[in-house]
Structure 1
Amino acid sequence: MAAAARVLGQVLRAAGAGPASARAVRRSVLAGPPRAGPAWRPSRCGSSAAEAPATKGEDDSFLQWFLLLIPVTAFGLGTWQVQRRKWKLKLIEELESRVMAEPVPLPADPMELKNLEYRPVKVRGHFDHSKELYMMPRTMVDPAREAQAAGRLSSSVQSGAYVITPFHCTDLGISILVNRGFVPRKKLNPDTRQKGQVEGEVDLVGMVRLTETRKPFVPENNPERNHWHYRDLEAMAKLTGTDPIFIDADFKSTVPGGPIGGQTRVTLRNEHMQYIITWYGLCAATSYLWFKKFLRRAPGT
C-alpha cells in the first residue's frame, strides 16, 4: 500500500500537481476503501406528509355524505308513512260504510261475492246441524268487554269455537256455510245445546267472508278431527257438500242456548302515526348531529 502511494505521488508531481494535492490523495488512498454502511436513500417523508392531509380530507368528505343518507332515508320513510296513513284511513272509511250498509239479497253468482266482503246480505232457508264444523280456538267478539279490558295487563278471556253450519237457501236452491257464532269449549258438543239448534226455515242476515290463506305460525286445518284454524272455503265446502260461500250471521241471529252471533272482526290496525313520529323524529335527531359535526366545527378541526 505504501509503495503504491509513493508511485501515485510521483505520478502527480510529474503531472504538475502540488505537494499538498499529492498528500491529500495519498491520505485518501492510505485510508482504504470506505466502510460498509447503510445506503443512502432519498427521504419520502416530505411526500408522505403532503399526501396525508389530502387522504384525510377525502375520507372526511366520504364520511360526511355517507352519514347524510341516514336523515335523508328517515325523511323518505316518514313521508311514505304519511301516504300509507291516508290510504288506511280511506280504507277504514270504506269498510265502515260497507258494514253499515243495508243488507242485500245474496247473489247467486259466486263471482259477484268477490266484491262484497263485509257487506251484509240476507238469506232464507234452514240449517243442517248434522254437518257442523268448528273453527278453533276462538274468543268471543264483545266490543263492550274489549273496551273495558283495554289497557289491562291481563284479562280473563274465555276460549271456545265458532260453529260453522251448512244452510240451504230456499230461494236460490244452493247450500252455503254460515258462521252461527261463538260457543265456549264446554258447549262444543251439540248435545249440550239442543235448545239452540234452530229447526225450520229462518231469515238470516250475515256478512260475506271470503276464503283466506294460512298465515305464518297458524296450524294446518285438521278436517279429520273437525278442527279448522282458518277459512279454507274449498275444503269446507267439499266436506259438507255446499257451495264455497261463507257468511257470518249477525248478533240478531242469536237464540237462547245457541251460538252467539255477530262474531265478525272488522277492525283495521292503523299505527301509521306512530311510524310517522318515529321516522321524522329520527330524521330530526340525525340531521342535528350531522349539522353539528360537519357544518359547525371550526376550520382545521
Structure 2
Amino acid sequence: MEKPLPLFRSLRHARQYICPQCLRSTPRRPSPFKLLRPQRRHASTQPADDPAFKSILDKPPVLMRSGRKHKPLGLAILAAIPITAFILGCWQVKRLGWKSELIAKFEDRLVRDPLPLPPQIDPEAVKDFDYRRVVARGRYRHDKEMLIGPRIHDGNDGFLVITPLERVDDSGRNAAVLVCRGWIPKAKAKQSERPLALPTGEVQVEGLLREPWVKNYFTPDNKPENDTWHFPDVAQMAEHVGSQAVWIEETMKPNLIESYRREEAGIPIGRPAEVNLRNNHVQYIFTWFSLSAATAVMMWMVVRKPPGGRGFGVPGRVRESREW
C-alpha cells in the first residue's frame, strides 16, 4: 500500500501544474513599451510642449477707454425700426377698412337676383360688376375647351375647365363668353373619359361675373400653341377661341354628395356663390404694432443705460484681454 503524499506537497505540485490548452488561450499582456507609446504620442501634441506657446497669463489685459456716447447713426438706425413698423401697422389699419368695405360691397351684390347677361359687354365695365350674379344662355363649344392647371381641390390634383359659351345677338354678331365650369380630376382630363360632362344643345349658365386677374411673377406663361394654360389670362384666352374678354364662373350649391358624384363622372364641380377674398389684415396689424412696441422698448433701454462702465476701480476705463 502506497503511502499518501503530504498535503503541502500535493498543493505545491497542484500550483505548479498548468494546462497546456489554457496556456495557449490566455491572452498575452502587452509590453510596457506598447502601453506607454500612445500616452507618449498624446503627450507630444500638448500645446505647452511648443517652446513658442503663450498662455492667457502671458498676455496681460490692456486698459481701454469707455464711456463714449452712442453714435447718432446707430441711434437713427435703431429708431427707424419702431417708426417703420408703426407706419406699416397704420397702413394695415387702412387696408383693413378698404378690404372690409370691398367684401361688404361684393356680398351685397351676391344677394341680388341674377342679372341677364347682355349680348355685347364692355370689358372695361366688368370691374363695376365684379361678383355680380348673371344668367346666360347659349351652346358650349367643347371643341374649343381649355384646361387650366394644375389645380388642387380637396387635396386632389386636377384642372379647371374653361369652355366658350357660344351666343349670337339680334344683329348676328358673335357674343360668346368664357365660362369657368369648375374643377375636374386629372384622370378625367380627356373628354372621352367624361361623356356626361359634355352637354349638347342650348344650356343656361348661372354664375358670377368676375374681373380679370393679375398674373404674379412666379406663374409660368401660357402656351396657346400647345394648348397649355397655367393662368386664366382672360384677354389671351378670349383671343385664342374668338370670344369676348368676359369671364363667368359657374356656381353651384355646396353639396358633398353631389360633389362626389360629379368627381366620379368627370362633371366640373362649380364654385359656391360666395366671396372668397382673404382678410388677414388684423393679424398684420397685431404683428406690426407688436414689433413697433418691442423695438421701442429696446431702444429706450439702450438710450437710458449709460454707455460703457467702470471697471477695476479705474473711472471710464475697462480691461480687455486681446488675442486669446
Under TM normalisation by the shorter chain, which class is it?
A: 0.5 to 0.7
Say yes or no: does 1:202 pair with 2:207: no
Deviation at 1:210, TM superposition (A): 3.2
Determine the C-alpha separation between the residues in 1 that align with 2:136 and 2:79.
Answer: 61
Between the two proteins, the alignment pairs up a number of residues equal to: 232
Cα distance change on mapping 1:231 and 1:60 into 2, 3 Å: closer
Determine the C-alpha separation between the residues in 1 that align with 2:274 and 2:220.
Answer: 20
Map of 1:154 onto structure 2 = none
Cα distance change on mapping 1:251 and 1:160 into 2, 3 Å: same
1:5-84 alignment to 2 at 5 Å?
Answer: 56-57=68-69, 59=70, 63-64=74-75, 67-84=78-95
Map of 1:179 onto structure 2 = 180
Determine the C-alpha separation between the residues in 2 that align with 1:165 and 1:65.
Answer: 58
Map of 1:106 onto structure 2 = 117
Say yes or no: does 1:124 pair with 2:137: yes
Deviation at 1:227, TM superposition (A): 1.8
Map of 1:214 onto structure 2 = 215
Deviation at 1:296, TM superposition (A): 6.4
Determine the C-alpha separation between the residues in 1 that align with 2:81 and 2:215.
Answer: 37
Map of 1:236 onto structure 2 = 237
DSSP 3-state at the match of 2:216: coil
Is the CA contact (8 Å cut-off) linking 2:121 and 2:246 kept in structure 1? no
Deviation at 1:78, TM superposition (A): 2.0
Letter in 2 for 1:112: A
Deviation at 1:63, TM superposition (A): 4.9
Deviation at 1:102, TM superposition (A): 2.2
Is the CA contact (8 Å cut-off) linking 1:136 and 1:160 kept in structure 2? yes
DSSP 3-state at the match of 1:276: helix
Map of 1:164 onto structure 2 = 162
Cα distance change on mapping 1:241 and 1:264 into 2, 3 Å: farther
The partner residue of 2:303 within 279, 294, 297 is: 294
Cα distance change on mapping 1:114 and 1:85 into 2, 3 Å: closer
Structure 2 segments unaligned to the other structure (5+ residues): 1-64, 311-324
Is the CA contact (8 Å cut-off) linking 2:166 and 2:176 kept in structure 1? yes
DSSP 3-state at the match of 2:176: strand
1:111-165 Cα deviation digits (max 9, x unpaired)? 432322221111112112121111111123xxxx6xxxxxxxxxxx111111111
Determine the C-alpha separation between the residues in 1 that align with 2:114 and 2:269.
Answer: 20
Determine the C-alpha separation between the residues in 2 that align with 1:74 and 1:245.
Answer: 41
Which is further off, 191-200 or 231-240? 231-240
Output the TM-score relative to the length of structure 2. Answer: 0.62
Cα distance change on mapping 1:279 and 1:221 into 2, 3 Å: same
Letter in 2 for 1:88: K
Which is further off, 115-124 or 170-179? 170-179
Determine the C-alpha separation between the residues in 2 that align with 1:199 and 1:61.
Answer: 76
Deviation at 1:265, TM superposition (A): 8.1
Determine the C-alpha separation between the residues in 2 that align with 1:93 and 1:188.
Answer: 37
RMSD of equivalent CA atoms? 3.1
1:10-58 Cα deviation digits (max 9, x unpaired)? xxxxxxxxxxxxxxxxxxxxxxxxxxxxxxxxxxxxxxxxxx99x945x
Say yes or no: does 1:277 pair with 2:286: yes
Output the TM-score relative to the length of structure 1. Answer: 0.66
Cα distance change on mapping 1:249 and 1:273 into 2, 3 Å: same
1:194-215 Cα deviation digits (max 9, x unpaired)? 1221111122111122333432
Determine the C-alpha separation between the residues in 1 that align with 2:169 and 2:192.
Answer: 30
Determine the C-alpha separation between the residues in 2 that align with 1:232 and 1:265.
Answer: 22
| Larger RCO (CA within 8 A; separation ≥ 6) | 2
Deviation at 1:222, TM superposition (A): 1.8
Determine the C-alpha separation between the residues in 2 that align with 1:209 and 1:163.
Answer: 16
Deviation at 1:263, TM superposition (A): 6.8
Determine the C-alpha separation between the residues in 1 that align with 2:73 and 2:142.
Answer: 73
Deviation at 1:88, TM superposition (A): 1.8
Q: How high is the sequence identity, in percent, across the aligned residues?
A: 35
